[in-house]
Amino acid sequence: NRGNDLESVRKRAVVEYTLPSLENVIQSVLDEDLQRVLRSYKEQHEQFLLRFSKEEDEQTKNVVVVVVVVVVVVVVVVVVVVVVVIPKETPNLKVVIASTWRSGSTLLEKIISSYPGAFYHYEPLIFLGMKQFDKQDSQKDKVSKLLENLLYCNYTNAKDYLEFAYGNTEIFIRNKRLWNLCSTMSRFKCYMPENIGKLCSLFPLQVMKVVRVRLELLGPLLEDSNTRVIWLVRDPRGVMNSRTLSVTWCTSESCKKPKHLCSDLLQDYNTYINLKKEYPNQVMLIRYEDLAKDTISKTKLVFEFLGLNMHPNVKTYLNEHLNSEFEAPWSTIHNPERQSKKWMKLIPWNTVVHTQHYCRPVMKLLGYRAFTYKEELSSGNALQLLNVP
């Protein structure tokens, strides 16, 4: 009926991005150092826009965000401008990549974050340790609230997360837009909730990767029609091989046991089916192997799902990071298709048998072929059709 049609349109709607008023941001900042940085930011932003407005019409369809990097040498302060050109049509979106450890989520995150205007929240639950969270966990409310707050650039009640990030700089280094701000002031001020929130709010595309939480805890986020959840899965045998051979930190029961991995996968599968019915245009499933095999095509599908075009920055990232001979467990500079099949050459047969024992049902649902004989591994083909909406 008409009411349902209107509701469907409302859920599909996205809010076009507009740059927050720099003057309003400056006036709301109490810290003098940050005010100084933002004043320089505003001046050079205005100068850039003045030049920018004289260029071709096609270029003026963009919104410009200028991030100021201050380099202190003795007593001389040099201001360097890093220009981020955000396409004006960029929707105001919150994108959550949901996966689990060693499932290829870094590749997908890097691809999406290469889009101008993306602000990346790297594994915000990392400070809670090597465990998985679902609705039965005593910390479920804390977890859900933290994820929601960060997606809305609210760091006010993120004390534990910020303290962990302060002692582990890689958390913020992975967010290049945030790290640009960190370079402009003392390290302590970089971790102040109000400072982070101000920069975060300038970017329309909030991207978050979570590998410690079940899909059921992410469901409430979809009540905001501008939120998208991408569930990324990988062959459980490839996951277990990577956890066993590529890293040393996978020591918890929830990480090292295939029965826990596939119990979580099956739970997430059932949740995904329900969410897809309720929010058909807000959730997406993608297999790591499909992304690795046909990266360009699958990337286009992901960006179509997000309502974004394949920006030149994304194409540049793909060209620079694909088809490389360089291989490393944590790197995204490699041949992803070869990397996705590498486990079949390395995995012990007993690990295959053990993993399939616990994972066969969900493997069938997700289109992963079970092997009966060790010799089948040499075929390099573990994929079947994915018959999931």
| pLDDT grade for 12, boundaries at 50, 70 and 90 | very low
Predicted local distance difference test score (pLDDT) of residue 29: 72
Which uninterrupted H or E stretch holds 82?
Answer: strand 76-87
Q: Where exactly are the structural domains of the chain?
A: 90-153+201-389
Residue 72 has pLDDT above 50, yes or no: no
The closest of 303, 308, 282 to 224, measured between CA atoms, is: 282
Q: Which CATH superfamily is domain 90-153+201-389 in?
A: P-loop containing nucleotide triphosphate hydrolases (3.40.50.300)
Residue 60 has pLDDT above 50, yes or no: no
The per-residue pLDDT for range 101-134, each reduced to its tens digit, is: 888 899 999 999 999 889 999 999 999 988 888 8
Identify the DSSP state of 33. Answer: H
Tell if the pTM clears 0.85, that is, is over it.
Answer: no
Token pair, residue 302, equals 């992901």
Q: Tell me the average pLDDT of the chain.
A: 80
The one-letter amino acid code at 367 reads G
The per-residue pLDDT for range 194-224, each reduced to its tens digit, is: 888 888 888 899 999 999 999 999 999 999 9
CB environment 65-104: b (16+ within 10 A), e (fewer): bbbbbeeeeeeeeeeeeeebbbbeebbebbbbbbbbbbbb
Backbone φ and ψ for 150, nearest 5 degrees, come out as -65, -40
Residue 280 has pLDDT above 90, yes or no: yes
Give the mean pLDDT of 279-292: 95
- % residues pLDDT > 70 (the chain): 76
Give the mean pLDDT of 3-11: 43
Give the mean pLDDT of 294-303: 95
67 compared with 252, residue with greater pLDDT: 252
Which uninterrupted H or E stretch holds 379?
Answer: none
